[in-house]
Amino acid sequence: MFSRPGASPNLRSGRHITRFRALQALFTTLFWVIICLCFGFGIIRYPAIVFASARRGLLTWWEIVLPSLLPFFIVSELLMGLGFVSLLGTLLEPVMRPLFKLPGSAGFVLAVSYSSGFPLCAVLASRIRSEHLCTRNEGERLMAFTSNASPLFMLGAVSVGMYRNPALGPLIAGIHYLSNLLCGILLRFMSQPSSGPIPGHGKKAGLLTRVGSALRTSRLEKQNFGSLLGETVHKASTTLLAIGGFITIFSVLIGIMEAAGFFTTLALALTPVAQLLHIDASLLRALMYGLFEITIGINEASRSSGSFIQQLLVIEALLAWNGLAVQAQVAGMMVGSDLRLWFYLLTRCLQVPIAVLIAYLVTLLPIRDYLTHPALAAGTAASWFPWVFGACVPAGIVLALFTGCALQNTLNQWWVRLKNIIIIR
């Protein structure tokens, strides 16, 4: 009624949307400016704590992250450059498509990420996407459910280092991996329909032909192995430096928040809720720390006064959540690709209740004697068991996928023969 003459409703609606987006961008910028100013003020206010927190983060990166991830980064990059991922993709296509609605090359990411942990999932998913081995939707779903903790962390740092009980390692890791795989199966229902032919499903091309075509993607046709190795080491070093920066900055952030009394105030505010839900109040501190960094949160949970069942539920929830520090690392590794973060964040929210439910059901089983297994002598399982388990995880996954592929091919052949017999009769 009072609109300006000549202005159509669509034009007015467009102007309102433009103004809303401009205000949204303004408030978002102001929010992050305030956060950065508070962070800078905390650095000036608590210099000693900032120095100690930064040193702790750098030591964590130098002593744990760098030696555990660098070999996987280099080997995975070399295998991708040599065309092994394309080869594996042609072989695993028949089993990865029905199970996860993902290309066969995703089986390589699945095996490597389950043996090395985050944030390698984001690096490999981005690389596979850049090589046009998967679609955008497939890359986002692959990155979402392969973001898991390293078996060396769960079997070594958590079970042996924090609980002094190596028998807990397989239990914690099994629940975590099972919840991840269930999320991957659930995410297949959010897949977009393929607009073209599915690679590796051509009936005319034989297995040897497809294998040869996959191996021809090797970059050795354009460069020698020495230059490929140098390029791989350079990429891996740059990526790990970025990861070290993320770890350090979040270590400093947690130190400032703890010195400012943020966690203490929040714990006091949530104490009535914990009492209402019959949760040990000491586990609230673990949850708040784990919201930002899972290693500190799980360590707090292991030292809390809550029962082991409550501690296990909190640990599995924190492992599924990954922590804001890891989420920031994953977001940083996606820079330069067209992959979006919302699938990954959605899966984190989905995996937390799934992991907690699985952990609760496991505690109902008669495993009290297993959970209270005495700590083994020093130098036995504490030294070799995590490494053996970490090596067996990717081998077991690849073997299971190959077995499923062979079984499905055999069943398909028998089904074709059966149909031919029925038609002839």
Phi-psi region of 165 (alpha: psi -120 to 50; beta: other; left: phi over 0): beta
Cα–Cα distance for residue pair 68/391, rounded to 1 Å: 12
Residues in CB range of 94: below 8 A, 6 or more apart: 104, 200, 201, 405, 408, 409
**pLDDT, tens digit, 9 for 90 and up, residues 158-191:** 887 788 888 788 888 889 988 988 898 888 887 7
Note the pLDDT of residue 145: 87
Q: Summarize pLDDT for 48-66 with one digit per residue, the tens.
A: 999 998 998 888 788 777 8
Contact call for residues 79 and 107 (beta carbons, < 8 A): no
Is the preceding peptide bond at 394 cis, omega within 30 degrees of 0? no
Structure-derived torsion over alpha carbons of residues 304, 309, 315, 318, reported in degrees to the nearest 10: -100
Neighbours of 420 (CB within 10 A): 10
pLDDT value, residue 202: 44
Q: Are residues 361 and 150 in contact, defined by beta-carbon separation less than 8 angstroms?
A: no
pLDDT the model gives residue 384:
45
Instruction: Name residue 190's amino acid.
Output: M
Q: Is the dihedral of CA 385, 387, 392, 393 positive or negative?
A: positive
Give the contacts of 200 (CB within 8 A, at least 6 positions apart).
89, 90, 93, 94, 103, 104, 210
pLDDT at res. 354 = 93
Q: Would the pTM count as exceeding 0.85?
A: no
Q: Are 232 and 72 in contact (CB under 8 A)?
A: no
Digits of tens for pLDDT over the chain (425 positions)? 444 555 556 666 667 677 777 888 888 889 889 999 999 999 999 999 999 989 988 887 887 778 777 887 788 778 777 777 667 766 777 778 888 888 877 887 887 777 777 777 888 888 888 878 888 888 888 888 888 887 777 887 788 778 888 878 888 888 998 898 889 888 888 776 655 444 444 444 555 555 555 555 555 666 677 787 888 888 888 888 888 888 888 889 888 988 888 888 887 887 787 777 777 777 888 888 888 888 888 888 888 887 888 888 999 999 999 888 888 888 888 877 888 888 889 999 999 999 999 998 888 877 655 565 444 434 444 444 444 444 455 555 555 655 655 566 666 666 666 766 666 65
Please write the tens of the pLDDT for every residue from 210-223.
Answer: 555 555 555 566 66
Q: Where are the alpha helices (DSSP H) in 260-307?
A: 262-276, 282-292, 294-302
